[in-house]
Structure 1
Amino acid sequence: MPRHAVVPGQIARSARLTPGAGLWTKPPKSNTLGHAVRDTRESAFGREAPALPPLSPPARKIRPMPSIPLPFIVTAVLLGLLARMLGAQRKQPLFLLFVALCALQTGLVGLRWSLDLSWVKFVQPVSAACLPPLAFAAFDGLRGRKVSARILFWPVSVVVLWFVLPVAIDAVLITEFVVFGLLILRLKLPDTALSQIRIGDEWTVGRARYGVAILLILSALVDTIVALDLAGRAGTTAAPAIAAMMGLILVALAAALFGRAGETIVDSDVAPPPDKTQADSTPSEEVDQDILALVETALEAGLYRDHDLTLQRIARRTGITARKISHAVNRGHGTTVTDLVNGYRVREAMRLLRDSDLPVTQVMLDAGFQTKSNFNRAFRATAGQTPTAYRRSESAG
């Protein structure tokens, strides 16, 4: 994400953060940029003020606690997220790779803060250049698109610029982040593109897409402001240090969004099933009714209770392509497949709330919902009240 936390170009070179600086450590007698802090006896106008006698005996020296730089803490959190994604039943390679790259990026920042290693200055911008195209490829892959070798253009360009014109690296990375942020914002994901997403969680992928795009653009904006600030004040401000902290936050947020979106993708088999409907490419009301009959028969048999139900699984069960199912539901019912499935789930939840004493959480699970947020949202949209209020009103009636 923000290259300022990750890019050793003109901006990053000006932000020589104090080695070993981290949480719980006493700051040295210098500011974040390494400039010496003015002695406390110096007045605000530059004249030396008279020294005052100490008011109390000197305090006993306290042994400093071990330094744990913040970037390493963020890296540990991201590695934990990566381990959870690896333990999922269905693994999404591009989503996993993005989170792993974010963990690498924050780890590199930690090494830069602590040790100021020369090789890190080279790896940081190259790694940063991989993030935007990888994010775009991950979301674009939901539409069945294959990863193009063109995503290597940006990291290769940074490598070339490192040896030819290093001063241009910051400008290239800022441009890259803005371009891919806008591309991800404009990326359209129709229902058929979300056929691998768990029904009811499509909004999670949509929010992740918008969130990552905004973070990319925000990262470019932060670095632009820092670059202008450094150019105007010759690197005498703490803006690079602030940008470094912003970089860590933005990288962590982007990885969290990707991790949450990756967990909703539970079906990686996107091969269309053999189509049992007529081969006629022209849609008709009769064909739509046949498709709806097959879909509703499968749902009435209890398919809606599958917590990991996806449009692709409905397609395999009915032998109809996901595209045809989506279009038939839209034309026949004027709604989406998600709303159709949630209708079955909410009606089952209403029956259980009315006819049983099961806890609301157990009712949610038995009806096919996996999260309380989805359950409450769908139930309120159908019944006009919360599950608890519905049970209370039915008991009173």
Structure 2
Amino acid sequence: MTLAATELAFRAASVALLLVLAASLVSDFRNVLAARLGAAFALGSAAHAASYSIGAPALTSAWHAPLIALSTGNVVTFWLFTRALFDDDFRLRWWHSAIWALVAAFSFVSCLWIAPSGNVRLAVIATNLISLGFIALAVVQTVASWSADLVERRRRVRGFIVVAAALYGGLNALLQIFVGGSGGGDVANTINAGVLAFVVAAIACAMMRVDGADLFPAAAEPEPEPAPAIAPSQPVASEDAADQKLIDALMRLMADERIYRQENITIGALAGRLKIPEYRLRRLINQRLGYRNFNVFLNNHRIEEAKAALADPAQAEVPVITIAMDAGFQSLGPFNRAFKAVTGVTPTEYRRLKVNAA
């Protein structure tokens, strides 16, 4: 088999796997934002598999330029996908689409006007620096939210997905920058296509080994209330008695010591207070209390305290920001967003409703 035929086979395999993955995500989780973004990322990666070559030519055909633009814009989709995958409360904003459109448009213009005007190296470097920037954002997002994720299997597979995709995308961007406008050669392109096919197959395999309910939250799933999990009259199987004692101890820390008020409290510090391994505390909060994210668990307790304060006539003159800071929030913006996500109204509206109902 010739190098050209081998490269074509690798590209075709990557495109086929990515299209199947996108169709599967849309079919099974069409109402989940992270899955829809995952499908969009898979489609953009298919465009990359069909259009990518090491070393950019000075002239790009009219049919090739849109695929390259989609491939470049896909780094924005990758960043948004990591945010939605690791933050169940993430929502798309209009400016997210605007960023994607700007990046894709810049790549399109580079292909049809900047590179042909004699600025091939400038176009290649600028486009790939943009790619590296969004890949770095995705990696930072993964690292920042890693410890707060309570779904153990999702933590493992998401790390693999991000690391594999980021390494491939980052190395390719660096390779393009250093290669510049020179031709990459058939051997380099064949190797690249083979590596891409392997990465796509590994990611697809990793996602198939994880229950979709672990990887993606159920659409419109309400946040769990902590009270049922700690009710003393709740029947507990004898083999779960130790877990129940730990949950009772955890909830005492929440209710009596209000440990959620501490600045930058981590799940590791909380596990240390309970004298148990961190992984066990993750499992308890996730499987017994129903939370998928540690920050959501903390914020729900903070919001319950804030709700009580806002409904208290004796604290009617206390500023909302004071109540938020006393409950453990570090600023007003995150408090307002978290409060409205739980109650459906802003803190000020909640206070007014309680005063009118009194």
Question: Scaled by the length of structure 1, what TM-score is found?
Answer: 0.47
The amino acid that maps onto 2:173 is A
Q: CA deviation at 1:135?
A: 0.8
For residues 286 and 64 of structure 2, what CA distance do their matches in structure 1 show? 51
For residues 164 and 278 of structure 2, what CA distance do their matches in structure 1 show? 26
Among 156, 160, 164, the alignment partner of 1:207 is: 160
Q: Which has the higher contact order (CA 8 A, sep 6+)?
A: 1
Q: CA deviation at 1:84?
A: 3.9
The amino acid that maps onto 1:241 is D
For residues 156 and 299 of structure 1, what CA distance do their matches in structure 2 show? 59
Q: What residue is the counterpart of 1:265 in the other structure?
A: 215
Change in CA separation of 1:293 and 1:154 when aligned onto 2, cut-off 3 Å: same
Task: Say how many residue pairs are matched.
Answer: 234
Structure 1, unaligned runs of 5 or more:
1-17, 25-67, 111-115, 278-290, 304-322, 345-397
Query: Is 1:22 aligned with 2:5?
Result: yes
For residues 225 and 78 of structure 2, what CA distance do their matches in structure 1 show? 33
Matches within 5 A, 1:1-397: 21-23=4-6, 69-88=9-28, 92-108=35-51, 118-141=61-84, 142-143=86-87, 144-147=89-92, 148-149=96-97, 150-166=99-115, 167=120, 168-187=122-141, 188-190=144-146, 192=148, 194=149, 197=151, 199-227=152-180, 230=182, 235=183, 239-256=184-201, 259=204, 260-261=206-207, 263=212, 264-269=214-219, 272-273=222-223, 275-276=225-226, 293=230, 300=237, 330=271, 331-332=273-274, 333-336=276-279, 337-340=281-284
Post-superposition CA distance 1:257-298 (Å, at most 9, x none): 654348452423465526455xxxxxxxxxxxxx87469x69
Q: CA deviation at 1:202?
A: 1.7
Q: CA deviation at 1:22?
A: 1.2
Does the CA-based 8 Å contact 1:222-1:243 persist in structure 2?
A: no
For residues 23 and 163 of structure 1, what CA distance do their matches in structure 2 show? 29
The percent of aligned pairs where both chains have the same amino acid is 14
Change in CA separation of 1:294 and 1:219 when aligned onto 2, cut-off 3 Å: farther
Q: CA deviation at 1:172?
A: 1.9
Q: Which structure is higher in helix share?
A: 2
Question: Scaled by the length of structure 2, what TM-score is found?
Answer: 0.52
Q: Which stretch shows the higher mean deviation, 245-254 or 99-108?
A: 245-254
Does the CA-based 8 Å contact 1:181-1:216 persist in structure 2?
A: yes
